[in-house]
Amino acid sequence: MPIDIKHVNTNTNSRVGSASSKASQQKGAAAATSAPSQAVKSDSVSITSQAQQLQSAQAKLNDIPEIDVKKVEQIKAAIAEGRYKIDADKLASNIAQFEKELQDL
């Protein structure tokens, strides 16, 4: 059985080509790093006094708990003892006001 030797060297040629391309890439990278560095521009941000005030107010609001646990406990105790009275007229007025505000949005 004869051996075909025509295609034996094709792999070595591609290896040589890839080695030379790697060498040229390394030379390009070295040239890029040895090139004189350009002046680096930096960005700057300035915050207005109004933005600083808003930031301060937000920080203070973050420190306030969303639920007043002490008040909740007082209301629970008042309900349990029968001392908590609901003013139906005031409740209806507040609901109507809330509905009106929703419509205005």
- List pLDDT tens digits, range 19-63: 455 555 555 555 555 555 677 888 888 889 999 999 999 999 888
Instruction: Give the span between the Cα atoms of 22 and 27, in whole angstroms.
Output: 9
Domain ranges of the chain: 68-105
pTM for this structure?
Answer: 0.33
pLDDT at residue 84 in the model: 92
- pLDDT tops 50 at residue 16: no
Per-residue pLDDT band for 81 (boundaries 50, 70, 90) equals very high
Residue 77, both tokens: 């105790």
What angle is formed at CA 58 by the lines to CA 53 and CA 64, rounded to 5 degrees? Answer: 130
